[in-house]
Amino acid sequence: MFLFCGSIVINLLLRLRRGSGTGELTSMLLCYANMLMVCIYAGFLSTRPGNYALPATSIIVFIALLPLTIDDRPIRVYAVMIAETALYLIASRLYKSSDAFSLDLLNAVTFCTVGTLLYAVICTRNVREINQGLRMEKLQQHVISSLATVVEERDEGTGGHISRTVEYVRALTERMMRQERYSSLPDSFYKNVILAAPMHDVGKIRIPDAILNKPDKLTEEEYAIMKTHSVYGAEIITKTQKDVEDGEYYVIADNIAKYHHERYDGTGYPDGLKGSDIPLEARIMALADVYDALVSERVYKRPMQKDAAIKIISEGRGTQFDPELVPLFLECLEATP
């Protein structure tokens, strides 16, 4: 009874841990603990005197639970099923009569068949869910790409800005993933930051062409209108992306669009956020956006040399940009021609 209850508890823990997104190592250890408990119990049942028909109501429960526990490890599922069945049959052959062993052999075949069929059902379900998830993700990416393309086509001076900033963001997040400081962030965070990066200027679609493509310096009134693109961007994302299945992506995209012009010292816009109050994804986007703006040609300016742009980024450490991210971003720039 102790072993039976222990196996059930382990399965419940594993389900909860998977639901909370904890690491694969923990899940694997729970799987192995459950396997060991099942095998011990299978052997224990076989050595009990007079348990002629007992396995029919016991082992099948555990073999049915195993695929539910480790449905993403086919080799492990079948290896454990075979090992468990072999252990049970060996013990049965040593401790039981020929008639009892024959019944156990029949039971074992039945148990393995049921477990295999159950596992096949689970695999089919998972494949269907994965395919559906991939289709939704492709559709989501298509919507993002379409919105970003419309904005870039309207802004005559920023050709290629979206694709370049995405690559800067990708390079920076790859370095962040190797830093202990950011080790607690899930992989999905980095994936969604890269996916949402093209949306950072989507609010410019609501800025008049006369301001967006003005070849001269903007007046104070025009600049005030231009700054509203960050708020407009968040509003557009709310209308177009809020109902997507991935809630984390929506939050990250919203933060990037709205806050990528905030400054670390609190003098940015639209809300004057300061330091760590600025979402990390927006601080990442700010570096990529500003650097590309510096080294790119615009209708109102010539491109800046790379060394000069790097100097501006370095001088902005702790004032305009996150002081922890600047060194990592500079490493990215040094690795590019």
Residues taking part in catalysis: 204
SS3 290: helix
Rounded to an integer, what distance in angstroms lies between the CA atom of residue 286 and that of residue 252? 14
Tokens of 115: 């477990």
The residue among 44, 19, 236 whose CA lies nearest residue 147 is: 236
Cα-based distances in Å from 326 to 69, 143, 169, 185, 291: 44, 31, 12, 19, 11
Say which DSSP state 168 is in: H
- Tell me: cis bond preceding 270? Omega within 30 of 0 counts: yes
Q: What span, in angstroms and rounded, lies between the C-alpha atoms of 256 and 259?
A: 6
Given a contact cutoff of 8 angstroms between Cβ atoms, the answer to whether 295 and 284 are in contact is no
**Angle, CA of 209, 214 and 218, to the nearest 5°:** 115
